[in-house]
Structure 1
């Protein structure tokens, strides 16, 4: 029995809702006082900084594009609008960006398509949520420290920094593997 386009969109959206709920809950639970984060370590050592972790060069290196003060890159700089459009197979609007999240959405008169990029802790939490709800994640060897792909998403870890790229598109998931894997390689090279 052939499924209508709307049935496939609804099914894909339902599959993403539990993961989105977990990600949002975890993201919001991080909103609180910053006093704990600014406290010095109990052992008196200094916390690692970009200057000390950038391959031991002693100079601050902006290895992550458009990073904020905490060194977390702007996810909209990790995946350009053109790259998101290529992945989505359609024109997308201007990105909507929040810390650790970027969304490119198709115009209202276009196909129901969206590309979402998470970075840092949010991306790692999204991966944890996907594992928790039993989604099949296939390893992608040779990309970063580790990388995984599923039907509509890819997860990349480079130097213990996670990025996830999520595609909401009404198509055969097999069509997404090559484009998601290629974009994962590109993003891994930017981190």
Structure 2
């Protein structure tokens, strides 16, 4: 009986090995030979003729973001007209996001549509608005939104958001 089990196991291993063990792996398909035609930019993707290109990370430096968040942050991650500083994985939870241009204005418009409460900030840029966790500034025809993520009372950050809005308006 023991020899029978051993023989059956040996046959099973031999069959499994013969099914795929000796075959060469399939080659990856060749890369496509067609080259995609470049897409011409549309009016929606071209920068506005009125607003100059502005570097979001230059508007809000790492030091500015750390002062706002009240904690050390990782280096900036710039993507097109945005800049993001995040807290280290060891904590605390913190993130500062900077948006420049049409995207900044769109965030303000969406928040208004959602009936968020705003405080008008006088004497900052051409117009400025504060809400819990964010500030919006329009100066020299450029919109900037600065959003702060922290897990404590948002009212604690109203003054630092307002001060940073004033600084950013001066840089535009």
TM-score (normalised: structure 1): 0.65
- CA 1:175/1:98 → structure 2, altered by over 3 Å: closer, same or farther? same
Partner of 1:80: 61
Return the alpha-carbon distance in structure 2 between the equivalents of residues 35 and 147 of structure 1.
30
Alignment of 1:34 onto 2:15: no
**Corresponding residue to 2:70 among 89, 100, 112:** 89
Q: SS where residue 152 of structure 2 aligns?
A: coil
Return the alpha-carbon distance in structure 2 between the equivalents of residues 178 and 92 of structure 1.
20
Partner of 1:130: 111
Structure number, greater radius of gyration: 2
Return the alpha-carbon distance in structure 2 between the equivalents of residues 148 and 35 of structure 1.
31
List runs of 5+ in structure 1 lacking aligned partners.
1-31, 39-47, 54-69
Residue 160 of structure 1: how far off its partner (Å): 2.2
**Corresponding residue to 1:120 among 101, 105, 126:** 101
Residue 35 of structure 1: how far off its partner (Å): 4.8
**Equivalent residues in 2 for 1:150-161 (5 A)?**
150-161=131-142
Return the alpha-carbon distance in structure 2 between the equivalents of residues 37 and 128 of structure 1.
17
- CA 1:106/1:143 → structure 2, altered by over 3 Å: closer, same or farther? same
Residue 154 of structure 1: how far off its partner (Å): 0.3
Return the alpha-carbon distance in structure 1 between the equivalents of residues 104 and 96 of structure 2.
14
Return the alpha-carbon distance in structure 2 between the equivalents of residues 35 and 172 of structure 1.
42
Partner of 2:149: 168
- CA 1:156/1:169 → structure 2, altered by over 3 Å: closer, same or farther? same
Alignment of 1:143 onto 2:150: no
Aligned residues: 132
- CA 1:124/1:109 → structure 2, altered by over 3 Å: closer, same or farther? same
Instruction: Give CA-to-partner distance per residue, 1:4-33, whole Å, 9 cap, x none.
Output: xxxxxxxxxxxxxxxxxxxxxxxxxxxx74
Return the alpha-carbon distance in structure 2 between the equivalents of residues 132 and 85 of structure 1.
30
Q: SS where residue 135 of structure 2 aligns?
A: strand
